[in-house]
Amino acid sequence: MSTPLSIGVIGSGSVAQGAYLPLLTTLRSQGKVRRVVVSDVRREALDIVTEAFPIDGVTQDPYAVIEDPDIDVVAVLTSMPEHAALTKAALLAGKSVMVEKPMATTLEEAAELLRIAETSPGHLLCAPHVLLSPDYQAMHRAIQDGRIGRPTLARARYGHDGPSWGAWFYKVGGGPLFDLGVYALTSLTGLLGPVTRVTALAARARSERIVDGELTKVETDDTYQLVIEHEGGALSTVTTAFGMQRYKSPAMEVYGLEGTVQMLGDDWAPEGLELWTNEVGAWQLFDSASRNWPWTDGLTHLIDCVRNGTEPYTSAAHAYHVLDIMFAALASAESGRVQTVDSRFVPPLPIDEVEGPHRRSHDRVYDGTN
Ligand SMILES: NC(=O)c1ccc[n+]([C@@H]2O[C@H](COP(=O)([O-])OP(=O)(O)OC[C@H]3O[C@@H](n4cnc5c(N)ncnc54)[C@H](O)[C@@H]3O)[C@@H](O)[C@H]2O)c1
């Protein structure tokens, strides 16, 4: 095990304050992190985190973090439109980068990031990190083991009433598909493989709303239904919106010719699995091994990979493919036509089949017994 790392955080808004900086504080106490430097263009955001967290430096210039030779890993946690440029600069500076979703707001920028990452010395790890959750891994294992037979249909959803902060969520390049639907698409493509065709309908349930205390024009659609064809022949649907109040349905259900497996809760905060197999003839409940699983886990994973000299479990090619699907969905909603999706990625096997370094103490939940 190598020495603790020095981390640069760019963007210290909601997600940094509520999730990633608390995580980094824990990782520091575990000896994985030795230094944390934070950048935000807003001075008041830096004042808040300086007060709340053990931080070794702040700056309003994100490039001061990127160019700091002591920084090993950069976490890009800004609003979406800034992701690509900051990630590109950090990769070119030789850093390993964890970028919040989506990795970019255009496919061209995302493709450039993939190209740079191929030759850059650092890793590129893209949120969301749902493939790392123990419950996702258990669902993947159950499907791979043939417990539900050949998967033919799936359904996933993620929505809420929309953030009350960050006007950029409601401008072009934002919206629930890129902010929330991206989780469901990452999970579904991880389980069922790449997508070949997508069709979508979109609507705008609200034309204006209160954001950061001000009446703000909603400039992007906020309500989506997607119908998707996967390369292996399975069909899936994704429901996502910034106008959903509550739900009690499972985050995701996969239907096979011999059974059904469903993830309870949300895929970023799973609450266990329910499995029906014709063979058993009853629903089996697998209690969650994800109760303390943080959805920020990708940053821990990246830090572990850099320290151990191992490759990340998740690929930037997967994040690119999900972005490709989302743009195809927008084009479908706009044109009223089914869109083909050309990019591909190879979904990773369950983590317990990937050799050595990716093994984690919590990676085995479903093992054929409940
Ligand atoms: N809020 C959540 O619950 C949540 C959950 C998961 C993922 N995310 C993702 O995390 C990212 C951030 O979301 P958020 O809710 O924290 O947004 P936010 O608006 O609260 O924070 C973004 C911060 O980035 C700063 N910023 C913008 N441009 C910058 C630049 N060039 N350099 C440095 N700082 C810059 C802003 O000043 C702001 O403080 C988004 O990609 C979002 O999709 C958010």
In tens, the pLDDT along 78-100 reads 999 999 999 999 999 999 999 99
Q: d(Cα 258, Cα 113) in Å, to the nearest integer?
A: 41
In tens, the pLDDT along 291-316 reads 889 999 999 999 999 999 999 999 99
pLDDT band at 358 (very low <50, low <70, confident <90, very high): low
Tallying the residues shown for the chain, one arrives at 370
Mean pLDDT of 352-367: 53
For residues 273 and 138, the answer to whether their CB atoms sit within 8 Å is: yes
Residue 43 beta carbon below 6 angstroms from any ligand 1 atom? no
Fold of 134-293+322-358: Dihydrodipicolinate Reductase; domain 2 (3.30.360)
* Cα 52 to ligand 1 centre (Å): 18
Q: Residue 141: is its pLDDT beyond 60?
A: yes
In tens, the pLDDT along 255-294 reads 999 999 999 999 999 999 999 999 999 999 999 888 889 9
**Which of 38, 79, 80 most suits a substitution to test ligand 1, by most atoms within 8 Å of the C-beta?**
79
What atom in ligand 1 is closest to the CA of residue 101?
41
Q: Name 360's Cβ contacts closer than 8 Å, sequence gap at least 6.
A: 351
Q: Residue 366: is its pLDDT beyond 90?
A: no
5-126 and 134-293+322-358 share one fold? no
Average pLDDT, the chain: 94
Q: Residue 370: is its pLDDT beyond 80?
A: no
Q: What is the pLDDT of residue 369?
A: 42
Specify the CATH superfamily of domain 5-126.
NAD(P)-binding Rossmann-like Domain (3.40.50.720)
For residues 345 and 351, the answer to whether their CB atoms sit within 8 Å is: no
* Cα 337 to ligand 1 centre (Å): 33
Residue 179 beta carbon below 6 angstroms from any ligand 1 atom? yes
In tens, the pLDDT along 146-176 reads 999 999 999 999 999 999 999 999 998 899 9
Mean pLDDT of 23-49: 98
DSSP code per residue over 67-79: T-TT--EEEE-S-
What ranges do the domains of the chain cover? 5-126, 134-293+322-358
**Which of 50, 78, 80, 220 most suits a substitution to test ligand 1, by most atoms within 8 Å of the C-beta?**
78
Higher pLDDT, 1 or 17: 17
